[in-house]
Chain A
């Protein structure tokens, strides 16, 4: 496997990486201009590990997940170099970006699975829960329909929906939001994937249900030795449940490290501002939103993309490209002033 700059900073001591994203660049072509949604992102996930990707909307965090799964429209989205290396169950290493579509379809839902933000619209309203789980099982294995049904009921109990058999016959609209998301997770788990990508799975749910789903994901990752990529905008949530975190801004990773450490001692000005946004307890009047908005993704930007909104910006910040540098063991930051500012 190739080396990536953040790997040295954040690799766990146990087990090889299941997924290594190297310099991923996903560009969208619109009429005359190019949208660089993901512009050189590298990250890795090991077995049993939870890697969070944090960013605001437009940061490219969702596109990163969709790129790994190759779920983007090939007519508008293209990859400009980079690789996504997956270690399959057999131990083989493949680059997902260069696989032909037929091969990729075998990977999707089987080696790498994805769950999405709104479980109501993510499930097909006209098919029963059972149908939708079984469909996935049958797609990737040779079992009989009856066996698939048993497996489906078992999966449902694994995700905390005990009365599996009865639930199989129900329709998505008859379930609560939390239950639907558990069903989505069950579907994603059905062929025992190496990696699970969860794109804002708790954003559409109640706070209490959020906690349950997060606990469930943690347990599943541990028990199955599955790597989880958790995409969210909620840095506080990340601190509680993730092992590592990548903070993304305008298509780039600006800070990378151990989740709890990044939360407690953020180094990049954007991360600092993000932490400052989080309401702490009774003194909720300390909510300080970050002034300004994300840069127009269509404009070619030189240098730091956060410079416009950064209170510490200097001319040298926008003079040339800024690398993601490891500043200590297990931490990388993309900022030329990081040493001066801390």
Chain B
């Protein structure tokens, strides 16, 4: 298992490197850069040149890349060109917010989606199944941002409440933090719960037809046990894998939600830094995103092997 693990990690590192190269080249593929943005149209060419030198933009691309990479492996992602702040700091702070959003969403989606899927699967064809399926299909069709906006105005119109304007971390004030997060999490979680419910339902329906379920019933086990012990344990691996996929999807969806609700997360940071052409922030931010995504996949692979006894070697 250790051998496989090192191989996977190595492959992930290679992928991350390739991805970083892609990002690096991509930002430099377009004309117009941060300097022009910062100084405006009517700028003095000499000033522009000086800034470019300061940012190291005069040097050949591959040199810039290796310098950046060298710094990155040491944990130094450079400084933002627009604000001058340390990129790692910036990204770290934003990452915290996004991670909070992501995990809260995943938890809510799991708590709502999985039980619905289980019930619908075991009672296939009955009313509850149709209800869950309708919920799934509508949830999957709903645009997240539309739903977020509707929630915002709906809550404001009906309850006369709107979330606080600025983000507060749970360390600073749990109450305020929850107030800020509740609507964003709800908006994101709907879609994911719908996806989870549909997946779990399908997994249960497949499992129900399996022979070991018949055996369990033949032993006289009550339906509750058949479902929660036998079937659930068998589809656990699939559930976790799917959870990982959802996690990555939520990361993507977080971008829009952060934009709507004004959360200072990684998504919003990327949006602003991309439009400002602040390369170090864009590179650093995207690198972190890619690393997280690869990490999630790696963790799932490991969990997969730990949970399914058929895959345990030796």
Direct contact of A and B (CB under 8 A): yes
Name the distance in Å between A284's Cβ and chain B's nearest Cβ: 33
Chain A residues, Cβ within 8 Å of B234: 124-126
Kindly state whether residue A194 has any CB partner on chain B within 8 Å. no
CB-based contact A124/B218 at 8 Å: no
Known contacts A75-B125, A116-B211, A118-B211; is A125 also within 8 Å of B218 by CB?
A: no
Q: B212: which of A69, A110, A121, A171 is its contact (CB, 8 Å)?
A: A121
Q: Contact string, B242-286, partner A, CB cutoff 8 A, digits 1/0?
A: 000000000000000000000000000000000000000000000
A96 CA / B233 CA spacing, docked (Å): 31
Q: Is the CB of B214 within 8 A of A122?
A: yes
For chain A, residues 42 to 81, give those with C-beta under 8 angstroms from any C-beta of chain B.
69, 71, 75
Contacts A116-B215, A171-B310 given; does A121 touch B220 at CB 8 Å: no
A123 to B218, CA, bound (A): 12
CB of A138, distance to nearest CB on chain B (Å)? 10
Query: Does A139 sit within 8 A of B, measured CB to CB?
Result: yes
A181 proximal to B (CB < 8 A): no
A96 to B151, CA, bound (A): 55
Chain A residue numbers with a CB within 8 Å of B309 are: 125-126, 128, 171, 173
A330 CB-CB contact with B under 8 Å: no
Question: In the complex, are the beta carbons of A106 and B212 less than 8 A apart?
Answer: no
Which of A109, A128, A171, A173 lies in contact with B220, CB distance below 8 A? A109
Decide if A109 touches B218 in the complex (CB within 8 Å).
yes
Known: A124-B234, A125-B234. A135 touches B221 (CB 8 A): yes
Whether a CB of chain B sits under 8 angstroms from the CB of A105 is yes
Q: In the complex, what distance in Å separates the CA atom of A281 from the CA atom of B306?
A: 51
Q: B220 and A122: CB pair below 8 A?
A: no
In the assembled complex, the Cα of A299 lies from the Cα of B165 at a distance in Å of 72
- Please determine whether A108 and B217 come into contact, CB atoms closer than 8 angstroms: yes
CA of A266 to CA of B261 in the docked complex: distance in angstroms? Answer: 83
- B216 close to A (CB within 8 Å): yes
Q: Interface size of A by Cβ–Cβ distance < 8 Å?
A: 29
Q: Does A177 interact with chain B (Cβ within 8 Å)?
A: no
A140 interface residue (CB < 8 Å to B)? yes
Per-residue A-contact encoding for B107-131, CB less than 8 Å = 1, 0 else: 0000000000000000001000000
Q: Is B8 interfacial (CB 8 A cutoff)?
A: no
Which residues of A, 174-230, contact B by the 8 Å Cβ criterion? 184, 187
Q: Does A114 interact with chain B (Cβ within 8 Å)?
A: yes
Are B221's CB and A139's CB within 8 A?
yes
- Residue of B with least CB distance to A174: B309
Q: Does B74 reach chain A (CB closer than 8 Å)? A: no
A328, B230: Cα distance in complex, Å = 50
Known: A114-B218, A127-B233. Contact between A122 and B211, CB under 8 A? yes
A295 at the interface (CB under 8 A from B): no
CA A123 to CA B214, docked complex, whole Å:
10
Question: Which residues of B are found within 8 Å of A136, using beta-carbon distances?
Answer: 219-220
A75-B125, A173-B310 given as contacts; is B219 within 8 A of A123 (CB)?
no
Interface of chain A residues 133 through 149 with chain B (CB within 8 A)? 135-136, 139-140
Report the Cα distance A162→B298, complex, angstroms: 42
In the complex, what residues of A have CB within 8 A of residue B212's CB?
121-125
Docked-complex contact A116 and B214, CB < 8 angstroms: yes
A-B contact count (CB 8 A): 71
Interface size on B, residues (CB 8 A): 21
Contact A139 B211 (CB under 8 A): no
Chain A min CB distance to B124 (Å): 9
- Expressed in whole angstroms, the Cα–Cα distance for A127 and B307 within the complex equals 11
User: Is A135 in contact with B219, judged by CB distance below 8 angstroms?
Assistant: yes
Whether, in the assembled complex, A271 has its beta carbon less than 8 Å from a beta carbon of chain B, the answer is no
A113 within 8 A of B: yes
Could you tell me if B218 and A71 are in contact, using CB atoms closer than 8 angstroms? yes
CA gap between A117 and B125 in the complex, in Å: 28
State the CA gap A222–B225 with chains docked (Å): 34
Contact among A105, A110, A114, A121 with B210 in the assembled complex (CB-CB below 8 Å): A121
Chain A residue at minimal CB-CB distance from B230: A124
The CB with the most chain A CB atoms within 10 A, among B217, B219, B310, is that of B219
Chain B residues, CB < 8 A from A127: 230, 233
Minimum C-beta distance from B87 to chain A (A): 45
Judged by a CB distance under 8 angstroms, whether A324 is at the interface is no
Q: Does residue A19 face the partner (Cβ distance < 8 Å to B)?
A: no
Inter-chain contact A110/B211, CB cutoff 8 Å: no
Contacts of A41 in B (CB 8 A): none
Interface membership of A38, Cβ < 8 A: no
Give the complex CA separation of A124 and B211 in angstroms.
9
- By a CB distance below 8 angstroms, the chain B residues around A75 are 125
Q: How far is the CA of A125 from the CA of B234 in the complex (A)?
A: 8
Contact B220 A105 (CB under 8 A): yes
Chain B residues within an 8 Å CB radius of A187: 215, 219
A contact residues around B215 at 8 Å (CB): 116, 122-124, 184, 187
Contacts of B233 in A (CB 8 A): 124, 126-127
A229 to B234, CA, bound (A): 31
Give chain B residues whose Cβ lies under 8 Å from the Cβ of A110. 220
Q: CA of A239 to CA of B40 in the docked complex: distance in angstroms? A: 98
| Distance of A108 Cα from B223 Cα, bound (Å) | 13
For B212, B234, B310, which residue has the most chain A Cβ atoms within 10 angstroms? B212
Cross-chain contact B220 with A140 (CB below 8 angstroms): yes
Instruction: List which B86-110 residues lie within 8 A (CB) of chain A.
Output: none
A116 CA / B216 CA spacing, docked (Å):
12
Considering the complex, which residues of chain A in the window 90-127 have a beta carbon less than 8 Å from any beta carbon of chain B? 105-110, 113-114, 116, 118, 121-127
Give 5 pairs: A residue, B residue, CB < 8 Å, sorted on A.
Answer: A109-B221, A122-B215, A124-B230, A126-B308, A136-B219
**Shortest Cβ-Cβ A-B pairs, 10 listed:** A109-B220, A108-B220, A109-B219, A121-B211, A124-B212, A136-B219, A114-B218, A122-B215, A171-B309, A122-B211
11 extra A-B contacts, CB within 8 A, seeds A71-B214, A108-B219, A116-B218: A69-B218, A105-B220, A108-B220, A114-B218, A121-B212, A122-B212, A122-B215, A124-B215, A124-B234, A126-B307, A126-B308
